[in-house]
Structure 1
Amino acid sequence: MSSIQGIFETHVQVTNLEKAKSFYGESLELKQVLELPERRVVFYELNDTQIFGIWEVEKGEWHHSHFAFHVSLPFMTRATSWLKERNIKPLESFGLQPKEPLVHTWLPMVSIYFKDSDGNTLEFGARLPHPPLEKPGVIYWSDWERLHQAQEN
């Protein structure tokens, strides 16, 4: 078994640090713990064991990133409206409209996708307490719930 217990620190590139600080600090409500203006970097603390950094780079150096923030399952019930309240548009994913969160059936994990101020693809994700399906896929959360209610009856 691996000794790795999770991701301690991760970083993302942005092209406008001030705009990104507004997005991550104000819109997503992350706690800023350090800014190094001379290096054009800001660090946020996600919890007692995780650090997230945003680094400003020139537009020609910027590379698209994708990562998921771990959130609670109860938060996911309101994640779509929470994003919209902050003028953050949930994204169509896997051919499904963003009317509600989606379930990755092979984990299983409920998630919702959106973009930051630079176009990095972000995701809120929470594990579900059910066993995974044998065939991997992505379905609406309401369909997942109906599937499990039918199995219980």
Structure 2
Amino acid sequence: MIEGLYEAHLPVRDLERSIPFYERLGLEFDHRVEDRLAFMWIEKDKSWLGLWESEKVELDYHPSIRHIAFYVSLENLKKSVQWLKARSIEPREAFGFEPTEPFVMAVGHHAHAKIHFNDPDGNSLELICKLANPEKHSGRMYLSEWERKIEGSS
């Protein structure tokens, strides 16, 4: 029945500032509804992000709200720190990892590599990809450490 995520929404303080920020990430502006809502395509005709202009942006951050993770390939994730900085977007510390490179979180057969950053209103964003974990390694480490670990167990 469910085939994917069609839309997600975030509160923003100023659409005129937020639309260009998300365009720098590669999202495509589609349309506005009145003056307080803009839709940006994440994947054209498949999934989009709704940006709601609001004065209630000061909600305390919690992963269940004000957070979106964008899927990227491992190849692109490896270039993500430089890619973000080239767009004047600073990656940020997350889970104790400095934003010098992506890091991995692995539990059981699940493993994901990611890098975190914020939009202009402090909404938490991340670029993430799933990793193969046939040996069921667990833990958190930088991606370069993970790759050495995986190579060592092959």
What band does the TM-score fall into relative to the shorter chain? 0.7 to 0.9
> In the alignment, residue 40 of structure 1 is paired with which amino acid?
R
2:7 is matched with 9
Conserved? CA contact 1:105–1:132, under 8 Å: no
> In the alignment, residue 145 of structure 1 is paired with which amino acid?
E
TM-score by length of 1: 0.88
Specify which of 31, 40, 47 is matched with residue 50 of structure 1: 47
Q: Deviation at 1:4?
A: 2.3
Conserved? CA contact 1:103–1:144, under 8 Å: yes
1:144 is matched with 146
> 1:134 & 1:112 partners in 2: Cα distance?
20
Distance 1:126 1:39, change over 3 A: same
Higher percent of residues as helix: 1
Q: Deviation at 1:128?
A: 1.2
Over the residues paired in the alignment, what is the CA RMSD in angstroms?
1.5
> 1:140 & 1:53 partners in 2: Cα distance?
32
Equivalences for 1:108-147 in 2 at 5 Å?
108-131=111-134, 133=136, 135=138, 137-147=139-149
Higher percent of residues as strand: 2
Q: Deviation at 1:129?
A: 2.5
Conserved? CA contact 1:108–1:131, under 8 Å: no
Q: Deviation at 1:39?
A: 4.2
Give 5+ residue unaligned stretches, structure 2.
none
> 1:126 & 1:34 partners in 2: Cα distance?
29
Q: Deviation at 1:18?
A: 0.7
> In the alignment, residue 123 of structure 1 is paired with which amino acid?
E
- Alignment length (residue pairs): 145
TM-score by length of 2: 0.87
Identity of aligned residues (%): 37
Give 5+ residue unaligned stretches, structure 1.
none
> In the alignment, residue 153 of structure 2 is paired with which amino acid?
Q
Q: Deviation at 1:100?
A: 0.5
> 2:113 & 2:48 partners in 1: Cα distance?
23
> In the alignment, residue 82 of structure 1 is paired with which amino acid?
W
